[in-house]
Chain A
Amino acid sequence: MFIGGCLKMLTVENISLVKEKHILKNVSFELARGEILVLLGPSGAGKTSLLRCLNRLDSLDSGNVFLDGTDTRALPVTELRRRIGLIFQAPALIPGTVKKNVCAGPRLAGRDISDEACRSLLSQVGLKSEYCGRNVEILSLGERQRVALAQVLANEPDILLLDEPTSALDPTATLVVEALIQSLHNKLNTAMVLVTHNLEQAKRFNAHTLVLADGEVLAEGNIRKLMESNTNPKLMQFFEGRMESNEPKGP
């Protein structure tokens, strides 16, 4: 699909998802090869649901998603999920060693990866090779997040979907993981969709940003420009931190 003369890797057209309520309403965007797109919005805006729809862990109620011009519904779901890798907010690793986790994706597809390849993947996410034999139970949250990242990278995805990868980390670890994501992006040139509810984080990435609220796209563009030129009151509310979370309230 040609937009403005460049081949778009991922095209999302008017997608909607309805469960007990409308989770996503006519969301559209495009992602070019090697681009980082930041999905920004308050809790309950539909950001995670959007990623799940792209990885087809949830099915769309309407709209289309094209990967390299092919309707993703025409692709075998296992192939699609290898090509669009999803890293969850709270990684649920497989009990056992780091190596077992890193090799999981290729093994599910019936191929093994060498120790050398495993070590190289760990080094890409900033973990030393001695981590290979460590049990994932003893890892810190930040280390678990890195193992989850290496696990998805082992599938050699075309697009990486990162769901609030730093939400459980302290400020220092957050900056380290952000730097890791940037360096991975520079090295691999993999297209990425990064979800965050943190405006400061979105500003640090300084990338093309899609602001979501109540399942709708409020605005799209470079985050700094959006903040400067915005006239949308709902968007201003969000930037000024006055937008309420749409998550169900506790008892």
Chain B
Amino acid sequence: MASESLLMSYGLVVGAILISLLNQLKMEREMFSSSLRATVQLIVMGFVLEVVLAIKEPLYLFLILLFMCAVAGIISGKRGKEIPHSYWIAFAGIFLGSVVTFGVLYAAGVIQPEAQYAIPLGGMIIGNSMKASSLSLNRLIGELGHQRARIETLLALGASSRQAALGAVRQAVGAAMIPTVDTMKTVGLVHFPGIMTGFIIAGGSPMTAVKFQLAIMYMVAGATGITCLTVTLLAYRQCFSRDLQLIEKFSPTH
């Protein structure tokens, strides 16, 4: 693609800014700054990837992916600040989801331990796992507050923390899986995912693109599933005291 073509495509953003200006929507500043930010981020990413993709040592690749998991754990852990050790829980879920998914894809021969696979796919896996972790934590906190009276009724009847929190855990896992499940339901009908689109634009055959896309979808589904289960199952335990009391932070107003 020529640079002029790229510049012309930015004309669409300019058009949107003009529409906002004419209709006094006051979105111009945010649209301009976010488009500029995206441009700078992607250009920087291009330079970084040039360096990163040249890495041959698997240990360094692992350390980069570990760093990405740590950053994702910090971002996601913030969503569950009410839950003790939420950062570690988010990190553990994202790390486990990513490691298992990578392991299976590697064992199945879909990917090789090379930078050109590990970094972009790692980004996708970790990014999706982070979303699943954040949604799980967020929903779990909401459900524990919302269901507090019912949870305490079950505890008062002699339930364990697992039995008492089961309803909230189910809701949290279900909510965190919604984006993944809905994407799988509508793929090819409502939207053409990025990898498939890119593969076809680059001249690949549609069936090969479909195979890659399926592998990616299974990968994302596996990673998000493992992550939200790990995060939710680790997190709910932290919400009860040793005497099986739901900690006070979770009130219906949360």
Contacts and interface: CB of A to CB of B under 8 A. Distances in A.
Our verdict on whether A and B bind, yes or no, reads yes
A209 interface: no
B205 interface: no
B6 interface: no
A56 B245 contact: yes
A56 B243 contact: yes
B158 A81 contact: yes
A87 B203 CA distance: 69
A77 B157 contact: no
Contacts of A93: 150, 153
B153, B241, B244: most-surrounded residue (chain A CB, <10 A): B153
A109 B157 CA distance: 9
A85 interface: yes
Interface residues of B, number: 16
Interface string A85-104: 11010111110000000001
Contacts of B163: 108
Nearest to A108: B159
B35 interface: no
Interface in A207-239: none
B105 interface: no
A78 B160 CA distance: 7
B169 to A, nearest CB: 15
B164 to A, nearest CB: 9
Contact of A78 (B241, B244, B245): B244
Contact of B157 (A56, A59, A79, A105): A105
B244 to A, nearest CB: 5
Nearest to B245: A57
A125 B162 CA distance: 30
Contact of B149 (A78, A81, A90): A90
A58 B157 contact: no
B149 A92 contact: yes
B157 A92 contact: no
Nearest to A73: B243
Given A108-B163, A151-B157, A92 B150 contact: yes
Given A56-B245, A57-B245, A81 B155 contact: yes
A79, A81, A91: most-surrounded residue (chain B CB, <10 A): A81
Nearest to B150: A92
A91 B153 contact: yes
Contact of A108 (B150, B152, B157, B241): B157
Interface string A108-136: 11000000000000000000000000000
A82 B160 CA distance: 12
B178 interface: no
Contacts of A155: 157-158
A49 interface: no
**Top 5 nearest A-B pairs by Cβ distance?**
A92-B149, A82-B158, A92-B150, A105-B157, A86-B156
Interface of A: 55-59, 77-79, 81-82, 85-86, 88, 90-94, 104-105, 108-109, 148, 151-152, 155
25 contacts: A55-B156, A56-B243, A56-B244, A57-B152, A57-B155, A57-B245, A59-B245, A77-B243, A77-B244, A78-B158, A78-B160, A81-B157, A85-B156, A85-B157, A88-B152, A88-B153, A90-B149, A91-B153, A93-B150, A93-B153, A104-B154, A108-B154, A109-B158, A151-B157, A155-B158
